[in-house]
């Protein structure tokens, strides 16, 4: 990001995080700026990569993703490259997040599937790659999920 967020940018981001379908007019009224000024700010935030997209929030259980799991994944980079692993993970639609982590594990994944059987099938596909080891934690109940609350830079 080439410039710091000010209070107006943070307010716009908070508003869009809670409702990405708000009109520029509504945003402009909330921050007491003209519509063209708000539109310019939004375009700048998009251009700088602060806003990376606009998305609908979907109930996972309504679309076959009622079972969530976190998977710690280990592999030997000498046996399988990160590039190959990343491509394999991207090809799995049930893998919603993949994070390279420090510590004993290589990656931490978040998966959403229809059932524990579908989770077992996904894990079987991941374990087919050479030297892959997994440790899985199934989510019993999600207490909350939220986006990062943007705050202005000090």
Q: Please give the Cα distance from 133 to 105 (Å, whole number).
A: 9
144 within some domain: no
81 within some domain: yes
Domains identified in the chain, total number: 2
Domain CATH code at residue 123 = 3.30.70.920
Residue 111 has a pLDDT of: 97
pLDDT, tens digit, for every residue of 123-143?
999 999 888 999 999 999 999
Does residue 40 share a domain with residue 99? no
DSSP string covering 126-142: HHTSTT-EEEEEE-S--
Does residue 43 share a domain with residue 66? no
Does residue 124 share a domain with residue 65? yes
pLDDT, tens digit, for every residue of 6-53?
999 999 999 999 899 999 999 999 999 999 999 999 999 999 999 999
Residue 153 has a pLDDT of: 65
pLDDT, tens digit, for every residue of 81-102?
999 999 999 999 999 999 999 9
55 within some domain: no
Q: Work out whether the CA dihedral 109, 113, 118, 122 comes out positive or negative.
A: negative
DSSP secondary-structure letter at 49? T
Domain CATH code at residue 26 = 1.10.10.10
Owning domain of residue 26:
7-47
Does residue 43 share a domain with residue 65? no
Mean pLDDT across the chain, nearest whole number? 92
DSSP secondary-structure letter at 94? T
């Amino acid at each position: 990001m080439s410039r710091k967020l000010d209070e107006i940018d943070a307010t716009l981001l908070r508003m869009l995080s809670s409702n990405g379908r708000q009109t520029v007019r509504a945003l402009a009224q909330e921050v007491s700026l003209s519509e063209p000024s708000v539109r310019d700010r939004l375009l700048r935030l998009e251009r700088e990569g602060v806003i990376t997209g606009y998305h609908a929030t979907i109930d996972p259980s309504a679309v076959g993703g009622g079972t969530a799991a976190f998977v710690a994944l280990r592999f030997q980079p000498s046996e399988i490259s990160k590039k190959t692993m990343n491509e394999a993970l991207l090809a799995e639609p049930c893998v919603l997040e993949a994070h390279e982590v420090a510590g004993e594990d290589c990656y931490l994944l978040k998966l959403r599937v229809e059932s524990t059987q579908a989770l077992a099938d996904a894990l079987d596909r991941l374990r087919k790659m050479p030297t892959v080891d997994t440790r899985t934690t199934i989510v019993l109940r999600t207490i909350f999920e939220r986006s990062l609350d943007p705050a202005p830079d000090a």
